Structure formats: structure tokens, C-alpha cells
Amino acid sequence: MSRIGNNPVVIPDGVTVEVKDNVITVKGKLGELTQPFDTVSVDVEDGNVLVKRSAENKEQKAKHGLYRSLVNNMIAGVSKGWTKELELVGVGYRASNQGQKLDLALGFSHNIVMDIAPEVKIETVSEKGKNPIIKLTSHDKQLVGQVAAKIRGFRKPEPYKGKGIKFVGEELRRKAGKSA
């Protein structure tokens, strides 16, 4: 029995949910998201979205909780939005942006220039004495996570000094260096 899948998703004010031809569409003040679904049924009843399954096989049990979580993330995204923050740890590591172009100086022989999807708002914060921070904001949780993971992949944090790009609040597993 899926505990997550059985919980109804509450639709806040200003958000509309539409189900048609196995595609769910969520519209809100921050944008519009669509998600196709199969093997389960999605119903909109008096301010709640209910995800139901017709059988008890393994595939339907798995997708029951999955689609409930996806719908919940879509509703939260179009009403509040999603934010990821990345921190650049290292001497000389810098980040700047001009519009949707992110310019990263990560200790390579050249800067990395990356085009960010137009749905994602990007902001770079550089204060003297603190590590530069990249803030990514969008209504699509999956897209924010994907862009953040791609940026982090340019220079993952290493376990000895902790240099690299890490998520704000991420705990790194540190190793002791050579013992002399």
C-alpha cells in the first residue's frame, strides 16, 4: 500500500489543474507545466487531486506514488517556485552572469560559458570574503535540478580540501591527508 500515493494533493488558490487524454496540466501564477501519465487514474475533486490505481501489481504500485509526487511538485512549482543554490569553494573561483549566460572561472585554462534555459532565472552573488553563490529559480523542479547538477559537474567537490562546486548546506565527506 502506497502511503504517499494515497494522500490527496491540495490545490491552492490561483492554481488550476486539468486532466485530459492521460495528460495533466497545471497552471499558476509562475507558469504552466504538463505531465503525461499511464497505468493510474488522476481525478480532480473539490480542491484536491487524487491519484488512484486499479490493480495491485508492482508497476501500478510504483507509479502510484511517483505520479502523486510529480503532481505535488508541479503544483508547488507553479504557486511558490523552486530554488537551488550552489556555492563555489576555492581560491580564484568566480561566477558571473549576463542575462541567461553563466560565466564560471574554475581554475581551468579557460572560463566555462554556459547557456541556461530561459525557464530558469539565474542570479550570482559575490561578496568580498565569502564564496560566490549561484541561485537558480524556476517553476519546474526537474529542470532546476538538472541545470544545478550540470553546473556542479564542471568541478565536483574533492574530499581533501573541499574545493569545487557544492550545494549550499551540503555536507561533504572529508578525508585525512597523508600522515607524515
Candidates 23, 21, 26, 22; CA nearest to 9 is 26
Cβ pair 99, 111 in contact under 8 A:
no
CA atoms within 13 A of residue 28's CA, in its CB half-sphere = 21
Residue (of 82, 69, 77) closest to 32 by Cα position: 77
pLDDT at 2: 60
Return the DSSP state at 86. Answer: E
Q: What is the mean pLDDT of each run of 10 residues along the chain (180 residues)?
A: 82 93 93 92 91 89 91 95 95 94 95 95 94 96 96 95 94 87
**What distance, in Å, lies between the first and last C-alpha atoms of the chain?**
56
What is the reported pLDDT for 101?
Answer: 96
pLDDT of the residue at 178: 86
CB contact set of 111 (below 8 Å; sequence gap of 6+):
103, 104, 105
Q: Hey, what's the cell of 9?
A: 494533493
Torsion sign (Cα): 105, 111, 116, 121: positive
pTM of the model: 0.89
pLDDT on residue 4: 85
- Exposed e or buried b for every residue in 28-65, given b needs 16+ CB within 10 A? bebeebebebebbebeeeeeebbbebeeeeeebbebbb
Say how far apart CA 34 and CA 18 lie, in whole Å.
9
